[in-house]
Amino acid sequence: MRWTPGGMSGDIEDRRASGGGGGPGFPGGMRLGLGGTLILLVLSLIFGRDFISMFSGSGQVAPTRTGEASRGAVTTPAEEKTVQFVSFVLDDAQKNWDRMLPEQSGVPYRHAKLVLFRDATSTSCGYAQAATGPFYCPADEKVYIDLGFFDDLKNQFGAPGEFAQAYVLAHEIGHHVQKVLGISNKVHSLQERNPAEANPLSVRLELQADCFAGVWAHSTAQRNLIEEQDVEAGIRAAAAVGDDRMQRMARGYVSPESFTHGSSEQRAQWFQRGLTSGDLSQCNTFAGR
């Protein structure tokens, strides 16, 4: 991916120097982020227990990464390069939505904040832990990420490269776009009224965020910021976090009725749909409901 370092974005809140420690879990209403499912899968493989189902059933978050000491304020040149990269992606994505959202929906965009933390931090949605992975908190309109997640994405799930990282961030910003458009509030109301539909509705919400990430990727392709291998990396990243793939790795079998994010095929398909069209109207995953 072609990008130019430009310092830290004004929309970033850096809490890395104050991270560390445990804390209470998330309240039951907290949406598990993209990376949270990945980390729960890793824990499932390590301990031989199905943490994915445990989280879905109880609303309790898994513990932080076992054996990993708090990293405190220690940083490296490689990490600072990653900070520069996520700053670029954040600013580029939000500038794109500044222009595109009013053009295509008539709704003005407002910026989300990105919080960088280590190990644990407080949020308006509860207490965030590294084990939760990247997630969007609608209550404070902030995306939270422990940059160590990108190592997991590369080493555990075979989705290396900068554009795979960009996809993760663009997906979470996609959830913010849903909040701005009023989509997420409507979906959460439907889930409360009909708990039996909670998981299918969650899948549709996640797939739409994948499509919105693809819409941003379309804009980068138009500006020659990405190449064919970057597109392939984004599709691999989307497929890497499909519910079917993760369940098969953790349990050896797949339970479609427990999906909350969609299958690998669905996630890659909706990301590519946004990438190809660049059109918000093509991201209606709720059509036919």
Q: For residue range 110-149, list pLDDT tens digits in order.
A: 999 999 998 889 999 988 887 777 889 999 999 999 888 8
Q: pTM above the 0.85 mark? A: no
Q: Stretch 52-78: mean pLDDT, rounded?
A: 48
How far are the Cα atoms of 55, 211, 222, 247 from residue 170, in angstroms, in the given order? 25, 10, 17, 24
What pLDDT score was predicted for residue 104? 96
What pLDDT score was predicted for residue 128? 81
- Give the DSSP letter string of 10-44: TTEEE-GGG---------TTPPPPHHHHHHHHHHH
Q: Stretch 24-30: mean pLDDT, rounded?
A: 38
**Does 261 score more than 50 pLDDT?**
yes
Q: For residue range 210-223, list pLDDT tens digits in order.
A: 999 999 999 988 88
pLDDT, greater one: 43 or 245: 245
Q: Stretch 91-96: mean pLDDT, rounded?
A: 95
Are residues 12 and 142 in contact, defined by beta-carbon separation less than 8 angstroms? no
Give the strand order in the sheet containing 12-14.
12-14, 113-116, 142-145, 135-137
Indicate the range of 11-25, 72-86, 96-110 predicted with least confidence. Answer: 11-25
Scan for tokens 């409901």, then name that residue: 289
Q: Stretch 264-284: mean pLDDT, rounded?
A: 92
**Does 63 score more than 50 pLDDT?**
no
- Give the DSSP letter string of 44-83: HHHHTS-HHHHHHHH-PPPPSPTTPPP-TT---HHHHHHH
Task: Tell me which DSSP letter residue 148 carries.
Answer: T
- Spell out the domains of the chain, with CATH numbers in brackets: 12-283 (3.40.390)
How far is Cα 111 from Cα 176, in angstroms, rounded to an integer? 9
Q: Stretch 18-25: mean pLDDT, rounded?
A: 47
Are residues 103 and 19 in contact, defined by beta-carbon separation less than 8 angstroms? no
Indicate the range of 44-58, 81-95, 120-134 predicted with least confidence. Answer: 44-58
What pLDDT score was predicted for residue 79? 86
Are residues 172 and 243 in contact, defined by beta-carbon separation less than 8 angstroms? no
Instruction: Count other Cβ atoms within 10 Å, centred on residue 160.
Output: 16
Crossing angle of the two packed helices 198-222 and 162-181, in degrees rounded to 10: 120
Pull the structure tokens for residue 72.
């405190």
